[in-house]
Amino acid sequence: MTKPRLAVLGLSHGYKFVKRLLTCNFAKLVAVADISIETALKSYSVDESEVSEKSRLKDLDIKIFKDYKDLLTEMANEVDGVIAALPNDLHVEVTEESAKYGVPLMLEKPIASTISEGKRICEIVSQSHIKFMVAHHRRFSKLVNRSRDAVRRGELGKVIGANVLWVGKKPDEYFERSWRIDKTYGGPLLINTIHDVDDLRYIIGEIDRVQAYTTNQFRGNQVEDAGVIIIQFKNGALATIFLTDDCPSPWFYEACTQEYSFFYPSHFDCYYFFGEKASLAFPSMTLFSYEKEFGEGWHRPLHRQNLLVERSDVLEEELKHFCDLIMGKTESRMTADDAFETLRVIDAIKRSTQSGKSVRL
């Protein structure tokens, strides 16, 4: 197998994968499925050129289905893997269906909306032994991986802590989709902060305890619109996260990293990592430390250097990893159990906001 044959389930969030698969040289798109296929081919577009690209699916040798189950039933032997960008409440079902046919699955994050559903997915994957990964795409960011290397190689010394900002202003039309303000499926904790939590787990280590406070007084929806989280890691490090989706600001990951063309680019940092030897600002990758010849201390000059990082398409790197996983060239960088652990942290944060107390995982 030189080019895995892939199918994309769900074109609302899945078209970002379709777009890359139509032009890449490492995989072949053979089928798509969407419950509202005609609408999906005409909407969810940033510009008119994307509408034209979606219309091209009808002209290419790509099979189109309304029901993803029909796709799996008819093409189980003609696809080498499926990418499921379906609503969260279908994640258990699509995992069961993929396992039934033994088809490798890349499941869009989060692994699930609830702990019980997340546990069930872990059970299905474990029992079926299908090749499986959750699309926490930031794990394929070269910026994130260089930061992880800096921590794991000891470039910062023993890690003391981190500070994370996710502060942005979502437009009013964003909330027209009801699931985004549903207590079970929506809210910035589950949609946005889960990425930041996973980044911290991936870079610093496993989380031991959380304390959090949230409010919904600014937008007035059922879900939170601002919050602050204190995190204690098992290795003793501490971190804080401040989040809101109701403030004009350049300090959020998607804008700062400039890894996504949809977001207006920012030239600021949104993460800060602190160690006994050095500190790191992300994503400028600015490392601050003392020169040995001058000694250490706040009365001494700081040395500033930029860690060089090659730019790349994060989603393309994620797709390449899935293809390598299918072909047996690598192990999943985001297993069901790993993704479930990130979900457990979000659940602990939510429980802390309800009780007003710290929650140990």
Q: The dihedral of CA 243, 246, 247, 249: what is its sign?
A: positive
If one compares 60 and 144, the residue with the highest pLDDT of the two is 144
212, two tokens: 């959090």
Q: Checking phi first, is residue 47 left (phi over 0); if not, alpha (psi -120 to 50) or beta?
A: beta
pLDDT digits over 114-127, tens only? 999 999 999 999 99
Q: Report whether pLDDT(60) > 80.
A: no
pLDDT digits over 78-107, tens only? 999 999 999 999 999 999 999 999 999 999
Q: Report whether pLDDT(52) > 60.
A: no
Q: How confident is the model at residue 51 (pLDDT cuts 50, 70, 90)?
A: very low
Q: How confident is the model at residue 45 (pLDDT cuts 50, 70, 90)?
A: very low
Indicate the pTM of the whole model. Answer: 0.92
If one compares 183 and 323, the residue with the highest pLDDT of the two is 323
Q: Report whether pLDDT(43) > 80.
A: no
Average pLDDT along the chain: 93
65 in Cβ contact with 31 (< 8 Å): yes
pLDDT digits over 241-278, tens only? 999 999 999 999 999 999 998 999 999 999 999 999 99
| Domain residue spans of the chain | 5-137+315-333, 139-312+343-360
332, two tokens: 């999943």
Q: How confident is the model at residue 177 (pLDDT cuts 50, 70, 90)?
A: confident
- Look at residue 307 and give its three-state secondary structure: coil
- Identify the CATH class of 5-137+315-333: alpha beta
- The CATH number given to 139-312+343-360 is 3.30.360.10
How large a percentage of the chain has pLDDT more than 70?
93
| Alpha-carbon span 310 to 322, nearest angstrom | 21
Q: Report the pLDDT value the prediction gives residue 47, as an integer from 0 to 100.
A: 46
Q: How confident is the model at residue 39 (pLDDT cuts 50, 70, 90)?
A: low
CA distances from 293 to 135, 157, 277, 278, 301 (A): 46, 18, 15, 16, 11
